[in-house]
């Protein structure tokens, strides 16, 4: 894989200072962006979240012309014109330099998701950003896959829904949509875009209230918005129409 770092495109590994927080603690921030074969979708929203995280935690960082670097990285990896997953990583060093990567990605536009419940808890204000030391989220999803599920729902210490290991959650009852009201989940770009299409109210969502809702959805930058057919033992009716409208906006492509 060819990636960009410090003004160069290379297929060599990314060197790390063993004394830097990136090596010692896995410290850093990142973004995942969908390249739809034409452009990196909603790059401005992703950069706003990423650079805000760096500034919020007092990190000194270097910037680049991200759009041109992404397009060149996509091209050098032979991915121009096809869907791809783009990542921007900022390992915590002094200063932090961006690492830009691109990899093949195969969309699954008709997938419905089965979610299990993660038994562990990880509640932190850092969850508002995408951090590179995301071992908890990685393990939650890996364990869900081992059990035959697509992803895992994460809960706080009061058994209220936060998000999944890979995306935001949305519930619907009648014509009303609800998102989890918590500072301990990712500030989702896909959920922000969904709010421009449907009216969404923030609300604490206790686990034992799931049966009150008819529809559930998972959202992220790569999948758009997809129906959730079950969370644990609670089943939901798939709502493809709403998913299609929001996904076309998130992925900037007709479905």
Checking 201-204 for CB contacts under 8 A at 24+ apart, the result is 201/176, 201/177, 202/178, 203/178, 203/179, 204/160, 204/180
Question: In a 3-state reduction of DSSP, which class is residue 192?
Answer: helix
194 and 151 in one domain? yes
Domain encompassing residue 182 = 113-251
The CA-based angle 16-17-18, given to 5 degrees, is 105
| Ordered per-residue pLDDT tens for the chain, 255 residues | 999 999 999 998 898 889 899 999 999 999 999 999 999 999 999 999 999 999 999 999 999 999 999 999 999 999 999 999 999 999 999 999 999 999 999 999 999 999 999 999 999 999 999 999 999 999 999 999 999 999 999 999 999 999 999 999 999 999 999 999 999 999 999 999 999 999 999 999 999 999 999 999 999 999 999 999 999 999 999 999 999 999 999 999 876
pTM for the predicted model, two decimal places: 0.95
Which residue in 162, 174, 182 sits closest to 231, CA to CA? 162
Q: What is the CATH number of the domain that holds 154?
A: 3.20.10.10
Six token digits for residue 170: 């949305």
Residue after which a domain boundary falls, among 47, 81, 104? 104
Give me the phi and psi of 202, to 5 degrees please: -75, 140
CA dihedral 224, 227, 230, 234 (to 10 degrees): 120
Residue after which a domain boundary falls, among 83, 104, 125? 104
């Amino acid at each position: 894989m060819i990636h960009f770092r410090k003004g160069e495109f290379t297929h060599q590994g990314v060197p790390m200072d063993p004394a830097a927080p990136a090596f010692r603690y896995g410290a850093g921030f990142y973004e995942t962006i969908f390249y739809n074969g034409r452009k990196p979708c909603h790059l401005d929203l992703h950069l706003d979240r990423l650079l805000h995280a760096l500034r919020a935690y007092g990190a000194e960082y270097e910037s680049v012309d991200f759009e041109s670097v992404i397009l060149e990285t996509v091209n050098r990896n032979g991915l121009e014109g096809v869907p791809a997953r783009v990542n921007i990583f900022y390992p915590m060093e002094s200063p932090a330099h961006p690492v830009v990567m691109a990899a093949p990605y195969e969309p699954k536009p008709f997938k419905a998701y089965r979610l299990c419940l993660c038994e562990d808890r990880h509640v932190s204000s850092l969850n508002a950003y995408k951090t590179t030391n995301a071992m908890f989220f990685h393990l939650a999803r890996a364990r869900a896959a081992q059990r035959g599920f697509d992803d895992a729902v994460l809960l706080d210490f009061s058994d209220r829904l936060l998000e999944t290991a890979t995306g935001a959650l949305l519930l619907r009852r009648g014509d009303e949509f609800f998102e989890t009201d918590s500072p301990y989940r990712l500030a989702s770009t896909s959920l922000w875009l969904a709010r421009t299409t449907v009216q969404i109210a923030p609300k604490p969502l206790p686990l034992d209230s799931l049966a009150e809702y008819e529809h559930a959805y998972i959202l992220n930058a790569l999948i758009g918005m997809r129906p959730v057919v079950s969370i644990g033992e609670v089943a939901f009716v798939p709502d493809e129409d709403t998913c299609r409208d929001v996904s076309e906006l998130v992925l900037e492509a007709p479905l």
